[in-house]
Amino acid sequence: MCGIAGWVDKNTNMGDKIGLLNKMSKTLDRRGPDENGIYISGNTALIHRRLIVIDKENGKQPMAVNHNGKKYVIVYNGELYNTSELREELRADGFHFRGHSDTEVVLKTYIKYKEKCPERLNGIFAFAIFDSENNSIFLCRDRIGVKPLFYYEYNGGLLFASEIKAMLASGVVRPIINEQGLNEIFFLGPARTPSCGIFKGVFELNSGECATYRNGRLTRRKYFTVDAKEHTENEKQTIEKTRYLLTDAIQRQLVSDMPMCFFLSGGLDSSIIVKTASIYNKEHKLGKINTYSVEYKDNRKFFEKSLFQPNADFEYISMMSKNADSQHTEVILENISLADALYESVDARDLPGYVDVDSSLLLFCKEIKKDYTVALSGECADELFGGYPWYHNKDILFEDCFPWSRSQDIRRYILKDGVCRNGEEYVRQRYIDTINQAPKLKSDTIVDKRMREMFYLNFYWFMQCLLERKDRCSMYSGLEVRVPFCDYRLVEYAYNMPWSIKAYNGREKGIVRKAFEDVLPYDICWRKKSPYPKTHNPVYFNECAKRVKSILDKKTILTEMLNKKSIENIIENPDKITSPWYGQLMKAPQILAYIIELDYWFEKYNIEIE
């Protein structure tokens, strides 16, 4: 995993911009702390920061290859999971390889297939290739959107980068937000409309997109999307194929030249990954696996059951660790540190985000990085296989809105009158645009049609928010986190699985449970869904309240938009906030934390409002 950036300007020799290029590179040093490099050719520059995971000597970047008298140069961030198959295919066509890095395989796959190369790749990646044959830049992002790639197009030029901060460092991109950006931050955040980079003129390649910049023009192309197809396999065959696809995805992601560990929450998804890896290691005599979990100081003392969080994780973590014979480490986070890390979380995202859900992961990854460079995690099963409560509550399921943010009342409540006047309409249109894109079959039942819409909503919104969190908060410490449930083959298969089979036995992720019931302990396999752990300690709420009170006493661009009385009421009556700001976890403490992040973001990034 790494950080990449680039700059093309038809009116500039990039050699004259070396100071700014180095400045851009420096902003990405946390993504790639091990090595860095810059390639310059006339009006084109490619920047790379490397986190060494595979082939230390032969994977250096920017990587250049001369082929038939033409030069091709790549900067690449990611991991390829069909490297060996592609390498053999390319060797059969006469290509030679100097090492075993996946970077070299991606570059030579492009040389052979040009703009059609993304269809050959299975992995998580974002990359840019300079093609001297037609003086172009080819940009590409993985099918699922695990790795980021932002860009900014202007008259005569193009900037792109793994993170927005690198483009801001160029001096070309200004930290301006307009009404659209305000609607995104206040009415959709921490989610973002697909492709929207919040800052004026900043966009992101969507998942499954590539683009070519040639002759001063950027042309985007969608190379992957899920299609509606008839599911032809019976229940037994579906169970077997689900198990095969997930097992294969996990095993493909166990390749690394650096130490690897596993996140373990005691839930279904991480337990499947941990157990599969444990079995693989034993079969290949590779020794015990190492697992990590996260907890908060005194959380067991203050834990309260809820519909979304019916039980605590620690007993299940212990059970699964023993079952998988793992060497387990529990990371316990201090609540004040959790609040302190809100600011670093904004630095990592370049935007206000998922507040303590972000900051806890950031601190968790920072601890893991002391001993490991690579980890596997269980994100995205819920979006693909119907794991969230809103899939199973018919009252919510057929509500004509985003299920994780069903009302904008709390968002409107914290704003002064006149701010983001059309916020509700903006959200509504984003919702309509998404469900209208979901492919359907005429033979779909009413439930299956709605489930396809829910899949699209979750895949392109909720899941992308979680993947952004995972990438930024892990890469902030130079930790690569892989997500086996994001294998595109599994995504395609899940989209067309009838709900009656997917929700086997009437359970969330029922088909996945059934597929692995003979592998996992019964209590783990059939445990009720429990979300990512959050702190229940009042110390955290009180700390956030104190910081927000200080913010409200200032006169800033932000406080001029906030309703001070409403926010003070949240501080005084936190239990009255019954509907979450976003998802299942963002209640009163998290709303206050979001205001803390907003305040820091406006000040740190010198935000201008247009």
Residues 191-215 have pLDDT tens digits of 999 999 999 999 999 999 999 999 9
> What is residue 607's DSSP assignment?
-
Q: Can you tell me whether residue 494 is helix, strand or coil?
A: helix
Instruction: With a cut of 60, say whether residue 310 has pLDDT above it.
Output: no
CA 264, CA 109: separation in Å to the nearest integer?
Answer: 35
What's the pTM value of the predicted model, to 2 decimals? 0.96
pLDDT tens-place string over residues 504-534: 999 999 999 999 999 999 999 999 887 777 7
Half-sphere exposure of 281 (CA within 13 A, CB side): 19
Q: How many CA atoms lie within 13 A of 367 on its CB side?
A: 18
> Measured at the alpha carbon of residue 484, what is the angle toward residues 255 and 320, in degrees to the nearest 5?
95
pLDDT band per the 50, 70, 90 thresholds, residue 28: very high
**Is the pLDDT confidence value at 313 over 90?**
no
Instruction: Name 421's Cβ contacts closer than 8 Å, sequence gap at least 6.
Output: none
For 319, how many CA atoms within 13 A lie in the half-sphere containing its CB? 18
| Alpha carbons 345 and 71: distance in angstroms, whole number | 39
What DSSP state is assigned to residue 160? E
The pLDDT of 375-383, averaged and rounded, is 96
The residue with greater pLDDT, 304 or 27, is 27
Residue 431 · residue 423 · CB < 8 Å: no
What is the percentage of the chain residues whose pLDDT exceeds 70?
Answer: 98
Distance CA 64, CA 76 (A): 12
Question: Which residues are within 8 A (CB) of 292 and not within 5 positions of it... i.e. 6 or more apart?
Answer: 261, 262, 263, 264, 328, 329, 330, 331, 364, 367, 368, 375
Alpha carbons within 13 A on the beta-carbon side of 299:
18
Phi, psi of 565, deg, nearest 5: -65, -40
CB 289 within 8 A of CB 324: yes
Which residues have CB under 8 Å from 366's CB, separation 6+?
Answer: 476, 477
> 165 or 298: whose pLDDT is higher?
165
The model's pLDDT over 419-432, given as tens digits with 9 standing for 90+, comes to 999 999 999 999 99
**Considering 2, 140, 380, 486, which one is annotated as catalytic?**
2
- Examine the pLDDT at 307 and tell me if it is beyond 60: no
Residue 575 burial by CB count (10 A; 0-12/13-18/19+): exposed, middle or buried?
exposed
The string of DSSP letters for 517-542 reads TTTS-HHHHTPPP--S-----HHHHH
Average of pLDDT values for 123-136? 96
pLDDT at 302: 65
Residue 263 parent element (H or E) = strand 260-263
- Residue ranges with strand state E in 377-507: 480-482
Angle at 261 between CA 260 and CA 263, to 5 degrees: 145
How many CA atoms lie within 13 Å of 182's alpha carbon, on the beta-carbon side?
18
Instruction: Give the pLDDT score at 425.
Output: 98
Residue 158 and residue 149 in contact, taking contact as beta carbons nearer than 8 Å: no
Q: How high is the pLDDT of residue 69?
A: 93
Integer-rounded Cα radius of gyration of the chain = 24
Exposed/middle/buried for residue 352 (C-beta within 10 Å: 0-12, 13-18, 19+) = buried
Instruction: Tell me the backbone φ, ψ of residue 250, rounded to 5 degrees.
Output: -65, -50
pLDDT in the model for residue 40:
97
Neighbour-count burial for 488-507, b at 16+ CB within 10 Å, e otherwise: bebbbbbbbbbbebbbbeeb
Q: Is-catalytic flag, 2?
A: yes
Lowest mean pLDDT among 79-88, 265-274, 572-581: 572-581
Q: What end-to-end distance do the CA atoms of the chain give, in Å?
A: 36
Q: What is the pLDDT of residue 580?
A: 81
217-222/327-333 β-pairing = unpaired
Average pLDDT, the chain: 95
| Six-digit token string for 134 | 């037609």
- For 36-50, 239-253, 568-582, which range has the lowest pLDDT when averaged over its residues? 568-582
Cβ-contact 33, 51 below 8 angstroms = yes
Asked whether the predicted pLDDT for residue 451 surpasses 70, the reply is yes
Query: Is the alpha carbon torsion for 563, 580, 540, 185 positive or negative?
Result: negative
Exposed/middle/buried for residue 57 (C-beta within 10 Å: 0-12, 13-18, 19+): exposed
Q: Are 164 and 348 in contact (CB under 8 A)?
A: no
Helix H or strand E segment including 376: strand 374-376
Query: Is 260 in a helix, a strand, or coil?
Result: strand
Cis ω before 531 (30° cut-off from 0): no
Res 309 pLDDT > 70: no
Inform me whether the pLDDT recorded for 172 exceeds 70: yes
The pLDDT score that the predictor gives to residue 299 is 77
Whether a cis peptide bond, with omega within 30° of 0, leads into 190 is yes
Are 192 and 427 spatial neighbours (Cβ–Cβ below 8 Å)?
A: no
